[in-house]
Amino acid sequence: MVKTKIIVVTGGVLSGLGKGVVASSIGLLLKSQGYKVAGIKVDPYINIDAGTMRPTEHGEVFVTEDGGETDQDLGHYERFLDELMLKDQSITTGQVYYAVIQRERNLEYDGKCVEVIPHIPMEVRNRILKVGKRTNADFLIVEVGGTVGDYQSVLFLEALREMSRELGNVLFVHVAYLPVPGNIGEMKTKPAQHSVRFLNSSGIQPDIIIGRGEKPIDRVRREKLSVFCNVKLDDVYSAPDVDNVYKIPLILDQQSMVKNILKKFGLNYKPGRVRAWESFIKKATTAKEVVKIGIVGKYFDIGDFTLEDSYVSVIESIKHASWHNGKRPVIGWLDSKKFEKNPKSLDELSGYDAIIVPGGFGSSGVEGKIKAIQYAREHDIPYLGLCYGLQLAVVEFARNVCGMKKASTTEIDKNTPYPVIAILPEQEKKLKEKEYGGSMRLGAYPAQLKRGTLVYHLYGDKDNISERHRHRYEVNPEFIEKLESHGLVFSGRSPDRKLMEFMELPSNTFHVGTQAHPEFKSRPLRPAPLFDGLIKAAIKKKSLHNI
C-alpha cells in the first residue's frame, strides 16, 4: 500500500506562469496542516541536470545539500516549505533515458525488447515513488515542466496518468493563463479551455484549475471554465498577479483551496494554521523605508526577465533579509563591463547602500567587478562577495593593498605571477575521485569559524556551520600569510584548515566574502546570516549619513 498522496501540477497556454510558486504554495498550505510534504520537478530536457546550462538559458542552477545542480523550482520549494530537497527530486528526460539504457546494457530487462512505452513511463514512476519512500512524505507535489501540449512532456504525462489509474491517490491541478487582450479588454478563457483539451488527450482530467491572469477571475468566467473544462465551480481558483509571490499561499487559502484538496483525499481541515506566514507578509508589505542594493554582474545583454531568473536565490535572499529588518529592498543591476570601459561610472556605486558580487564563471566583466570591489572597500560601502565575489575580493586586496600588482585567479590569467586564487592540485584529485568524476566542489560542506570575527557573530557564535558550494577554484594557501599580514582575516576554513571559506576586513563596516552560496539556504522567515548582516550594515551606514 502506497501511503504517499500525489498532487500533479501542470501548466497550460504559456510558460512563466509561476507554476513553481503555485506548487510551493500548495505544499506550504499542506505543511501548515501538519503534513510532511516533498516537491518533485520533472523537466523535459535531455540534459542530465541543469549544471551544464547557462543560467541565461534556464535560470539559476539551484544546488542541493547533496550536490545536485537542479532546476530553480527546487529553490522555490525549499523557500516556501523550509524543507531540504535532494537531487533525486529533480527528474529530467536525460536521467530517465540514461538509466533505462544503462539497465538494458546490464541485461536487467531479461531479454525483452526495451521500448519507449512502457519502459520510460515505468522509470519515471519508479523515480517518483522512490522519492516518496525516501522522504516518507504524506504528500508529493509533482510539478511538470513546460506547457501541456509540448511534445516533450508527453511521456511524463503518460507516466502520471498510469500512476493515477493504478494508485488512485493522484490529484491533478492545472495552472492556466487567462489573457486580457488589449483590443478586447476582457479576460478570455478559450486558451485555458484548449489547454485542458490537450490534457484530456493525454487521458488526464484536471481536478482543479487555477486561473492565472493580470486580474482576478470573475464569476462569469469561472462558470465558463467549470462548464467547458468539466470541473466543479468550487474547483476553479483565481491567482492574479501580485507584487509579492509569497502572498500566493494566502490568496489560495482565502479561497479554501487546501480545505478542498484535503476533502478530496478524505482528510480534515484545521483552520488558522498559516499565522506565522501572515505576519511575515504583513511585515514585508508594510516596510516603507528603502534599502538600495547593487548587484554587479555580467549577464546584462539579455533582458530583465532572464536576469531575475539567473539570480533568483540571491534576489530572494536580499528580500528576506530586508523585510526581516523592516526595509523595502530596491535592487539595481550594475554592468561590470561598463566599469571597465569608463572608470568614472564607478561613482554610480555611491548611490547604493550595499554592493554584492554574486557567483560567476569566466573572464568576461571580471576587471570591472574587481574595480567595483575596490570602490566598495575604499568608500566603506557594505560589500558581500558570493563565491566568485570572494575570490575577486581576494584578488583586489592582493593587488591594491598587498602590492601584488598583477595578482589574479588562474581562471582568467594562467600566467599571473601571483595566483592568489587557483585550482589546488590536492583538491582537484579529491574531486575527481568522487563517484561522478566531476571537478566541481558541489553541495554542503562544513566550515569552522574563527571566534570573535564578524562572520562568527553573524552565524550566532557557532564554531561549526555548513553552507553549499559550487566552484573549482580556491584561495591559494601560499598567499594566506601575506594577505593576513595586511589585515585581511579568513574567518572560516574547512575542518582540515586547508580551504578558505570566509573572509572579512575588520577595518571596514562590512567587507565580507564567502566561498559558499549562502543564498541557497535563505528562507522568508529565516534570512541567511550573511545577507542579514549586509542589510544591517547598510542600515547602520545609512543612518550615520543621515545624522
Whether residue 58 lies in the annotated active site: no
Q: Does 473 bind ligand GLN (CB under 6 A)?
A: yes
Whether residue 387 lies in the annotated active site: yes
Contact call for residues 445 and 498 (beta carbons, < 8 A): no
Q: Does 388 bind ligand GLN (CB under 6 A)?
A: yes
* Neighbouring C-beta atoms of residue 398, cutoff 10 Å: 26
Q: Which three cell numbers stand for residue 306?
A: 532572464
Strand partners for 91: 42
Piece in contact with ligand GLN (CB under 6 A), picked from 93-101, 302-310, 358-366, 456-464: 358-366
Give the CA distances from residue 378 to residues 357, 386, 388, 396, 513, in Å, rounded to whole numbers and listed in that order. Answer: 16, 19, 20, 11, 16
# chain residues binding ligand GLN, by CB under 6 A: 10
Contact call for residues 112 and 65 (beta carbons, < 8 A): no
Work out how close the CB of 385 gets to ligand GLN at its nearest, in angstroms, rounded to a whole number.
9
Q: How far apart are CA 132 and CA 139, in angstroms?
A: 8
Q: Of the two residues 399 and 470, which places its CB atom closer to ligand GLN in the complex? A: 470
Work out how close the CB of 87 gets to ligand GLN at its nearest, in angstroms, rounded to a whole number.
17
Work out how close the CB of 363 gets to ligand GLN at its nearest, in angstroms, rounded to a whole number.
10
Site string for ligand GLN, 404-423 (x = CB under 6 A): -------x------------
Site string for ligand GLN, 71-90 (x = CB under 6 A): --------------------
Q: Does 360 bind ligand GLN (CB under 6 A)?
A: yes
Q: Of the two residues 148 and 483, which places its CB atom closer to ligand GLN in the complex? A: 483
Pairing of strands 511-514, 500-504: antiparallel
Give the chain's end-to-end CA distance (angstroms, integer).
67
Strands (DSSP E) contained in 243-368 are: 290-297, 328-335, 354-357
- Closest to 210 measured CA to CA, from 183, 170, 178: 178
Considering only residues 483 through 512, tell me which ones interact with ligand GLN, judged by CB under 6 A: none
Work out how close the CB of 273 gets to ligand GLN at its nearest, in angstroms, rounded to a whole number.
38
Work out how close the CB of 437 gets to ligand GLN at its nearest, in angstroms, rounded to a whole number.
17
Q: Does 387 bind ligand GLN (CB under 6 A)?
A: yes
Q: How far apart are CA 21 and CA 245, in angstroms?
A: 7
Q: Does 50 bind ligand GLN (CB under 6 A)?
A: no
Q: Does 54 bind ligand GLN (CB under 6 A)?
A: no
Q: Does 352 bind ligand GLN (CB under 6 A)?
A: no
- Which is the catalytic residue, given 58, 320, 324, 517? 517
- Of the candidate residues 324, 471, 511, 536, the single one contacting ligand GLN (CB under 6 A): 471
Piece in contact with ligand GLN (CB under 6 A), picked from 45-53, 134-142, 345-353, 466-474: 466-474
Type and span of the H or E element at 102: helix 93-105
Q: How far apart are CA 83 and CA 125, in angstroms?
A: 23
Piece in contact with ligand GLN (CB under 6 A), picked from 49-57, 354-362, 373-381, 530-538: 354-362
- Closest to 529 measured CA to CA, from 437, 461, 450: 461
- Which is the catalytic residue, given 119, 387, 471, 501? 387
Considering only residues 230 through 289, tell me which ones interact with ligand GLN, judged by CB under 6 A: none
Helices then strands, each counted (H, E), the chain? 20, 21
Work out how close the CB of 530 gets to ligand GLN at its nearest, in angstroms, rounded to a whole number.
15
Q: Does 472 bind ligand GLN (CB under 6 A)?
A: yes
Q: Of the two residues 57 and 82, which places its CB atom closer to ligand GLN in the complex? A: 57
Work out how close the CB of 153 gets to ligand GLN at its nearest, in angstroms, rounded to a whole number.
30
Piece in contact with ligand GLN (CB under 6 A), picked from 113-121, 138-146, 356-364, 373-381: 356-364
Cis link prior to 495 (omega < 30° from 0)? Answer: no
Q: Does 97 bind ligand GLN (CB under 6 A)?
A: no
* Neighbouring C-beta atoms of residue 484, cutoff 10 Å: 12
Q: Does 513 bind ligand GLN (CB under 6 A)?
A: no
Whether residue 402 lies in the annotated active site: no
Q: Of the two residues 12 and 297, which places its CB atom closer to ligand GLN in the complex? A: 297
Task: Indicate the length of the chain as a whole number.
Answer: 547
Residue with grid cell 490537450, as numbered in its chain: 198
* Neighbouring C-beta atoms of residue 338, cutoff 10 Å: 17
- Of the candidate residues 58, 470, 511, 521, the single one contacting ligand GLN (CB under 6 A): 470
Q: Is 295 exposed, middle or buried (0-12, 13-18, 19+ CB in 10 A)?
A: buried
Quick one: angle between helices 73-81 and 19-32, nearest 10? 20
Q: Which three cell numbers stand for residue 240?
A: 492574479
Site string for ligand GLN, 114-143 (x = CB under 6 A): ------------------------------
Work out how close the CB of 81 gets to ligand GLN at its nearest, in angstroms, rounded to a whole number.
25
3-state secondary structure of 418: coil
Quick one: angle between helices 190-201 and 219-229, nearest 10? 20
* Maximum CA extent, the chain: 81
Q: Which three cell numbers stand for residue 450?
A: 574563527
Active-site residue list: 387, 517, 519
Residues binding ligand GLN (CB under 6 A): 359-361, 387-388, 411, 470-473
